[in-house]
Amino acid sequence: MSQLVLPLLLADHAVFASFYERGNESLVATLRDLSGEDVGSDGPGCWLWGADSTGKTHLLQAVCDRAGDRSVYIPLSAFAGSGPAILEGLANRELVCLDDIETVTGKEDWEAALFDLCNQLVDAGGQLIVASSMAPRESPIGLADLASRLSRLPVFHVHALDEEQRVSALQLRATHRGLNLPDETARYLLKRSRRDMASLYGLLDKLDLEALRAQRRLTVPFVRDVLKLPESN
């Protein structure tokens, strides 16, 4: 196995069990298959795209959590300014997950390295999972050979959740953390905070710590006190 210069830790919550998959069932099923024991048997990988805070990073990390040492997760946004050397040797892994690919497309050196990686994975029987904020046809890829290679990946749109689904997603994350989040409290959070899931999950993390310290349940009064919100809000 190749060794990365910088060890990249996966978030402990980023597993399939904590991802609310309503509306994205086909994508989640595909990723579960790709990250199963028979890597290489389910096609070349896939391209998933969607808006911020729709769970793309969560899903890529869940793939790597399930696949273990056979996989590697690379957030390209963290390395865009450092050059594409981070991609060297990745084809030794059976499953390569590249996040934020739009941060490096349009750069000749990166595109050449990505094309080399794609070819190496094909030769080795590995698979590539790419996450982006845009669909492949909208991605500013200048290298035609790379665009052609990536166009062979099945494409999935990661759909955003509606309000009721956000409530359910928050409750699923709370349950994964060993918390009980009543409907009333979850809806209170949605009405009095930023509505994107990243922000809501951040609040839940804070409430988890405060509830543990205070030995309190996640009631509306407790949440209001922790977040220092007036009763009239």
**Residue indicated by tokens 């609040």:** 203
In the chain, domain spans:
16-157, 163-227
Please give the pLDDT value at position 4.
45
**Residue indicated by tokens 């951040």:** 202
Please give the pLDDT value at position 177.
86
**Cα-Cα-Cα-Cα dihedral of 54, 58, 60, 62, to 10°?**
-140
16-157 and 163-227 share one fold:
no
User: Higher pLDDT residue, 9 or 173?
Assistant: 173
Q: Which CATH number fits domain 163-227: 3.30.465.10, 1.10.8.60, 3.40.190.10, 3.20.20.70?
A: 1.10.8.60
Pick from 85, 77, 141: nearest CA to 117 = 85
> Which residues 6+ apart lie within 8 Å of 143 measured at CB?
108, 111, 112, 115
Mean pLDDT of 67-86: 93
Q: What is the pTM of this model?
A: 0.88
Please give the pLDDT value at position 1.
36
Mean pLDDT rounded to a whole number for the chain: 89
User: Could you read off the pLDDT of 88-116 as tens digits, one per residue?
Assistant: 999 999 999 999 999 999 999 999 999 99
User: Could you read off the pLDDT of 145-200 as tens digits, one per residue?
Assistant: 999 999 999 999 999 999 999 999 999 999 998 889 999 999 999 988 887 888 88
User: Could you read off the pLDDT of 15-41 as tens digits, one per residue?
Assistant: 999 999 999 999 999 999 999 876 555
Residue 88, SS3 per DSSP = coil
Of the listed ranges 61-65, 210-214, 225-229, the one predicted with least confidence: 225-229
* Backbone angles phi and psi of 161, in degrees to 5: -90, 145
Q: Which CATH number fits domain 16-157: 3.40.50.300, 3.40.50.170, 3.20.20.70, 1.10.10.10?
A: 3.40.50.300
